[in-house]
Amino acid sequence: MHRLCPPVLATLLLLGACAGVDPDSSKPIGGISQEEKNRAIAGTIHGNPKGFVLYSTKDDLAKGNTGPLGAGVPVVGTGGGELWQAALQTLDFMPLMQADSAGGVIITDWYAPPETPDERFKITVYVIGQDIQADALTVKMFKQVQQRSNWVDTAADPKAVAELESNILGRARDLRAAAAPS
């Protein structure tokens, strides 16, 4: 009788376990459907049992599942987009990490103002609707200060967040007024 070394035996056992598996099968592998795989790739946050779309895919757009927080409202489309454009224009001095016009999410990278290089900010804007009003916009600001060559999280000034929201809304109103027929 011939004895197999453990690595060869383990390889044969693994290959035997794969016998009969059809790689082209439409059945879910590991109990995960294709839609769940697509959502995992597209970036869904599972804050509730169904989750909500953070970045919309083409399938989401076709099904009407767009907008942050599952709002179902395309941000840029027919007759709208001023809030989106205003947010981009207001944040144009900061490096941009991500912008998803279908989902209405803008994420900046860290930015340190030249006058305060020991502080840096990162901003996330959610444009939830097309109406130029405060409840169609959410601004999150993150702040860090440098302490002994390490960046430490600290609370952002709520007044700065409110001022940024106000600037975006004001710019959106200006854009809408400029686009209106005279």
Q: Sketch the domain layout of the chain as residue ranges.
A: 34-70, 82-179
Contact 56, 42 (CB under 8 A): yes
pLDDT on residue 5:
53
CATH number for 82-179 (one of 1.10.260, 3.90.120, 3.30.530, 2.160.10): it is 3.30.530
Adjacency order of strands within the sheet including 96-100: 96-100, 105-108, 119-127, 137-147, 150-154
Predicted confidence band of residue 179 (pLDDT cuts 50, 70, 90):
confident
pLDDT in tens, 63-106: 444 444 444 444 554 345 899 999 999 999 999 999 998 889 99
Q: Would the CA dihedral through 47, 121, 108, 174 be positive or negative?
A: positive
pLDDT on residue 131:
87
pLDDT in tens, 103-125: 899 999 999 999 999 999 999 99
pLDDT on residue 80:
54
d(CA 5, CA 88): 63
pLDDT on residue 181:
82
pLDDT on residue 35:
52
pLDDT on residue 103:
86
Residue with more model confidence, 113 or 62: 113
Contact 103, 66 (CB under 8 A): yes
Predicted confidence band of residue 180 (pLDDT cuts 50, 70, 90):
confident
pLDDT in tens, 37-59: 444 444 433 333 334 344 444 44
Beta pairing, strands 119-127 & 150-154: unpaired
Q: Would the CA dihedral through 73, 138, 93, 98 be positive or negative?
A: negative
pLDDT on residue 3:
55
